[in-house]
Amino acid sequence: MLKFGIAALVGKALNSFTLSKEGKDLGVTNDITNAIAAYLKNNAELEKEIIAEIDKARQHDITIGQNVSKFIINLRGLIRPVCTIAAFTWYIYAKLNNIELTSEDYSIIGGVLAFWFGFRSYDKKRLF
């Protein structure tokens, strides 16, 4: 997972460097940065590592819940839906009462949406 984060940072740094005066002086072109970006996107080993990390996290969650009472399991299961309901209730309340939302409010709502729907396309891609 660390490699994936590093790859994204390297891609952003290369794009910034290409646009800078130093990058232009050294002859760094978009062809070079595009080739590196294509390599990073198509790296099958990197994708396998990401899938393994996700599976490891799921297995860890399963092992934690094996020796816990049913009440605690149900309580753990309520945290995410309650946070979601609270975020959207705040959004609806703010819209109905003409309360101006800040960027932090939209970030929270966007984070909730990303949490619930962000990995769905990735999981579907894995199934096929």
Q: d(Cα 43, Cα 35) in Å, to the nearest integer?
A: 12
List pLDDT tens digits, range 105-114: 888 888 888 8
List pLDDT tens digits, range 46-89: 778 888 888 998 898 888 878 888 888 888 888 888 888 988 89
Q: d(Cα 102, Cα 117) in Å, to the nearest integer?
A: 23
Q: d(Cα 69, Cα 96) in Å, to the nearest integer?
A: 41
